[in-house]
Amino acid sequence: MAAALDGVFREEWGRITAALIHQTGDWDLAEECAQDAFAQALRRWPGDGVPDRPGAWLMTVARNRAIDRLRRGRTYRAKVEELAVMAGREAGDTASTDGSLAGADGSDVVGDERLRLIFTCCHPALAMEARVALTLRTLTGLSTAEIARAFLVPEATMAKRLVRAKQKIAHARIPYRVPPASALPQRLPGVLAVLYLVFNEGYSASGGDDLIRRDLCDRAVALTQVLAELLPSEPEVSGLLALMLFHRARQAARVDARGDLVTLEEQDRSRWDRGEMELGRRHLADALAARRPGQYQIQAAIAGCHAAAASAAATDWARIARLYRVLAELTGSPVVELNRAVAVGMADGPAAGLALLGQLEAGGALGGYYLLAATRADFLRRLGRNAEAAVAYEEAAALAGTGPERRFLNARLAEVRARR
Amino acid sequence: MQYMLIHAGAPGLDDAWNDEAWAALNAWLDEAIGSGVSIEGAPLRLDADATTVTVRDGRLIVTDGPYAETKEQVAGYDVIECASLEEAVGWARRHPHSWMGSVEVRALAGDSPVVHLPDPPAAGKTRYMMLVCTDPAVSARAEPAEPWVAEMSSRGVRLFGSELAPTGSARTVRGRDPGAIVIDGPFAETKEQIAGFDVLECADLDEAIEVAARHPMARAGIVEVRPFRSLGEE
């Protein structure tokens, strides 16, 4: 029952809060009523059994709760009336035993409301960290304490951040709606950036609470899936979804039994999740068919190249280097240039990679970035220039932040020192 | 001659207001409105509710927060009609905001005077103070704002506004009379400076952002939109 409820919770939380925020304009009320509805389900479902349409059941309970609270507050007469109409319709739906009604009228409206909520939570007038917190709390139902734990900040700080974000929405009147089609190209990247940040927070860091971080990845994927369904004609959404799926497919192989990082080259490819990669490939193919490339599609294509290679040696590095070139032109990011240098180093040899790296170092944009030093160290090691490689590894290890990265660099350092 | 009094204060300003300060504000308003000196004014939301709009290389950039990180935050404004800067500074000295924080006095440089606004705003609309600010990091010269003013005024989203006289002629009053001090220059010692303002009345923040983004200073400087705070609102 607990597992079933957790599944329903993840599926339905965002729909319920989105609908209630739309109808009442009150974010806190929406959250509290959603919470109440799930609490009631937890009490009643074990005895009564899970209803045929659990989402409609929860929505009805949450709406009635909202009506009740608003009535007791003796305010918002219009809102109460609107809610009562919606609740009546929903209850009628639930009562009908005819399954053919299900979803026909209700789900489309609700779908739109969730889209509204996504765009409001990810509004550019909110700070990035506020957008992330609000999205996780309101759309995925993660508790304030859980979000605080995932981002390694005190719960009180996270609670304040959420309160502030909701206040700004109210005070500055950030609209609760999906931007018009003309504004979509400008607004969508901000939404995708939030989803990708949540995913990366769960995926990349190995510090903190592992379980909750893995959960962040899953929630980011689920939300991106929802967004891809709601915006089927936006290839970057499918591109981002494909990118996340390719990454998540490799999750089990990324860290060894001791918790140390395993490079892509050395990962046990039999531990990659083939089903997940296939799903990623399908989403990427859908996205590319629209012929409107973007940074997430290109990154997904690169991840797809790695996924397609049966072994590290079989990787099509020349293609990856070309994709990075396109990505670098699109983003102008020096980190992308660094990745391109790595790919060129693999395709055309470490000397070619080192030459590209030289240009990047001269630019100075990546000064103090440990991966720049680590990449130089790797090229020098492969060229047999062990003494220079050792210096570069020392520099990289000093700059690297967390445990596994540093342990990896120190292991390489010991290796090149032994060869000297 | 019209002068803008820009109220500024520390972030915890709201908590600091006490009965004495409220009484002083009421007395100031009675006197300033009664004598016809006060033309318009309103409290504004603080930095946390401000949004900054710039356009760089043709790209719209919207960010949370004010035009510059300042120790004191813009908290409200008055526009008054006075014969001279000295007289305007006198009104600023008597305003309780000078001891709750500081009051910057700036002459209006435009030729379209500020008028009194009906209150409250039209149904379903929100008022925003749009601060037009300079950004020394941008070398581009601003194009004339007249076409923007004409368009936004006829659309009904711009109620009034003006360029301000350069900060060189600004005065900032700090402290409580008779001990108040008057300093040459603006309240904020930042590279970015307020160069003008417009009061907008929009359906929501998205409309305010769209209007702000089309101001020539969005490309040549920084434009900030900050919601009005209705009296009696938390």
In this structure, is residue B71 part of a structural domain? yes
Q: Is residue B232 part of a domain?
A: no
Report if residue A418 sits inside a domain: yes
**Closest residue to B206, CB basis, from A168, A171, A175:** A175
The label of the residue with tokens 């006075």 reads B82
Q: Do A173 and B60 touch (CB under 8 A)?
A: no
Question: For residue B143, which phi and psi values (nearest 5 degrees)?
Answer: -80, 160
Gap between the Cα atoms of A308 and A246, Å rounded: 10
Please provide the DSSP assignment of B173-218 as one string.
EES-TTS-EEEES-S--SSS-EEEEEEEEESSHHHHHHHHHTSHHH
Q: Is residue B99 part of a domain?
A: yes
We report the CATH number of the domain holding residue B163 as 3.30.70.1060
User: Which among B65, B205, B229 has CB closest to A174?
Assistant: B205
Q: 């319920």: which residue's tokens? A: A16
Residue A128, amino acid: M
Asked if residue A229 is part of any domain, the answer here is yes
- Cβ distance B48 to A164 less than 8 Å, yes or no, reads yes
Chain B residue numbers touching A168 (CB-CB < 8 A): 48-49, 64
Residue A345 sits at φ, ψ, to 5 deg, of: -60, -35
Q: Considering only the beta carbons, identify the residue of B49, B62, B203 that sits closest to A124.
A: B62
- Flag if B49 and A126 touch (Cβ within 8 Å): no
Tokens of A265: 């080259």
- CB B62 to CB A125 under 8 A? yes
Look at residues A281, A288, A276, A331 and name the one whose alpha carbon lies nearest to residue A305.
A281
Q: For the segment B195-232, what is each residue's pLDDT rounded down to a tens digit?
A: 999 999 999 999 999 999 999 999 999 999 999 997 65
Nearest to B64 among A126, A171, A173 (CB): A126
- CA-based nearest distance B51→chain A, Å: 6
Closest CB to A173 among B50, B63, B205: B205
Residues of A in contact with B211 (CB under 8 A): none
Number of domains in chain B: 1
Q: Nearest chain A Cα to B47, which residue? A: A168
Is the peptide bond preceding residue A189 cis, with omega within 30 degrees of 0? no
pLDDT for the residue numbered A304: 96
Of A71, A61, A67, A54, give the one whose Cα is nearest residue A35: A61
Tell me if B65 and A171 make a contact (CB, 8 A cut-off): no
Q: Could you tell me if residue B233 is inside a domain?
A: no
In a domain, A310, yes or no: yes
Look at residue B93 and tell me if it is in a domain: yes
User: What is the C-alpha separation between A178 and B21, in angstroms, rounded?
Assistant: 43
- All residues of chain B having their beta carbon less than 8 Å from the beta carbon of residue A132 are none
The helix or strand, by DSSP H or E, that contains position A354, with its residue range, turns out to be helix A350-363
Query: Does a structural domain hold residue B234?
Result: no
**In this complex, do A167 and B48 lie within 8 Å of one another by their Cβ atoms?**
yes
Look at B49 and A167 and tell me if their CB atoms are within 8 Å: yes
Quote the DSSP letter at residue A172: T
Token pair for residue A105? 């009228």
Q: Which of A163, A171, A177, A184 to mutate to test the interface with B (most CBs of B within 10 A)?
A: A171
Give domain status of residue A298, yes or no. Answer: yes
Q: Do B205 and A130 touch (CB under 8 A)?
A: no
Q: How far apart are CA B163 and CA B165, in angstroms?
A: 7
Q: Mind telling me how many Å the CA of A330 is from chain B's nearest CA? A: 14
- Determine whether A118 is exposed, middle or buried from the number of CB atoms within 10 Å of its CB (0-12, 13-18, 19+): buried
**Across the A/B interface, how many CB contacts are shorter than 8 Å?**
45
C-beta separation of A149 from A141 below 8 A: no
Nearest to A171 among B45, B60, B62 (CB): B45
The candidate with the shortest Cα–Cα distance to B121, out of B209, B228, B36, is B228
Rounded to whole angstroms, how far apart are CA atoms A16 and A14?
5
The contacts of residue B101 (CB under 8 Å, 6+ apart) are B7, B8, B9, B10, B13, B72, B75, B174
Cβ contact (<8 Å) for B60 and A186? yes
| CB-based contact B227 A173, cutoff 8 Å | yes
**Chain A contact present for B9, CB below 8 A:** no
Inter-CA distances, A1 with A48, A65, B215, Å: 12, 23, 58
Are residues A303 and A224 located together in one domain of the fold? yes
Residue A116: the pLDDT is 92
Of A130, A173, A186, the CB nearest to B126: A173
Work out how many domains chain A is built from and give that number. 2
Q: Cα(B66)–Cα(A323) distance, rounded to whole angstroms?
A: 39
Question: How far apart are the CA of A304 and the nearest CA of chain B, in angstroms?
Answer: 31
Gap between the terminal Cα atoms of chain A: 61
Contact state of A172 with B65 under an 8 Å Cβ cutoff? no
Dmax (CA) of chain B = 51
Contacts of A167 in chain B (CB under 8 A): 48-49
Could B227 and A171 be called an inter-chain contact, meaning their C-beta atoms sit closer than 8 Å?
yes
In three-state secondary structure terms, B224 is strand
Q: By the CB < 8 Å criterion, does B205 face chain A?
A: yes
Residue A258 lies inside a defined structural domain of this protein: yes
Inter-chain residue contact B204 with A175, CB threshold 8 Å = yes
B172 membership: H or E segment, kind and range = strand B171-174
Among A79, A88, A81, which residue's Cα sits nearest to residue A59?
A88
Q: Cβ contacts (< 8 Å) between A175 and chain B: which residues?
A: 203-206
3-state secondary structure of A241: helix
**B60/A contact by beta carbon, under 8 A:** yes
Residues A378 and A311 in one domain: no
| Cβ separation B205–A175 shorter than 8 A | yes
Average pLDDT per 10 consecutive residues for chain A, totaling 420 residues = 82 92 91 94 91 92 91 67 62 37 38 85 96 94 90 93 96 93 90 94 66 85 94 96 96 81 88 96 96 96 95 95 95 92 95 94 86 95 95 92 80 89
Under DSSP, is residue A263 helix (H, G, I), strand (E, B) or coil?
coil
**Residue A21 domain flag:** no
Residues in chain A: 420
Q: Which of B166, B191, B208, B231 is nearest to B49 (CA)?
A: B208
Q: Give the structural domain span for B221.
A: 2-227
Measured in angstroms, the CA of A179 and the nearest CA of chain B are apart by: 9
DSSP A61-113: HHHHHHHHHHHHTT--HHHHHHHHHHHHHHHHHHH---GGGTTTTHHHHHHHH
Domain C-terminal end among A282, A315, A348? A315
Residue A105 placed within a domain: no
pLDDT for position A102: 33
**Which residue, among A47, A54, A73, A60, has the nearest Cα to A4 in the 3D structure?**
A54
- The rounded distance, in Å, linking the Cα atoms of A127 and A130 is 5
**Digit-coded pLDDT (tens) for B87-100:** 999 999 999 999 99
Nearest to B205 among A125, A164, A186 (CB): A125
pLDDT digits (tens, 9 = 90+) for B109-119: 977 889 899 87
Residues of A in contact with B227 (CB under 8 A): 171-173
Q: Which domain holds residue A207?
A: 200-315
Does residue B204 fall inside a structural domain? yes
Contacts of A164 in chain B (CB under 8 A): 48
- Rounded distance between C-alpha atoms, residue A332 and residue A325, angstroms: 10
Cβ proximity of A199 and A220 under 8 Å: yes
Q: Please report the ipTM that was assigned to this predicted complex.
A: 0.93
Distance between B230 CA and the closest CA of chain A, angstroms: 10
CA distances from B88 to B97, B108, B150, B170, B174 (A): 14, 12, 29, 11, 14
Nearest CA in chain A to B234: A171
The answer to the question of residue A338 being in a domain is: no
Same domain flag for A209 and A304 = yes
Same domain, A204 and A305: yes
Enumerate residues 6+ apart whose C-beta is below 8 A from A41. A5, A8, A54, A57, A58, A61
Q: Coil, strand, or helix at residue B61?
A: strand
* Lowest pLDDT segment from A145-154, B50-59, B187-196: A145-154
List the single residue in A167, A172, A186 with the smallest CB-CB distance to B205.
A172
Q: Are A321 and A344 in contact (CB under 8 A)?
A: yes
* End position of a domain, from candidates A281, A315, A349: A315
Q: Shortest CA distance to B143 belongs to which of B215, B229, B57?
A: B215
Residue B225, SS3? strand
C-beta separation of A328 from A336 below 8 A: yes
Cα separation of B90 and B82, whole Å? 10
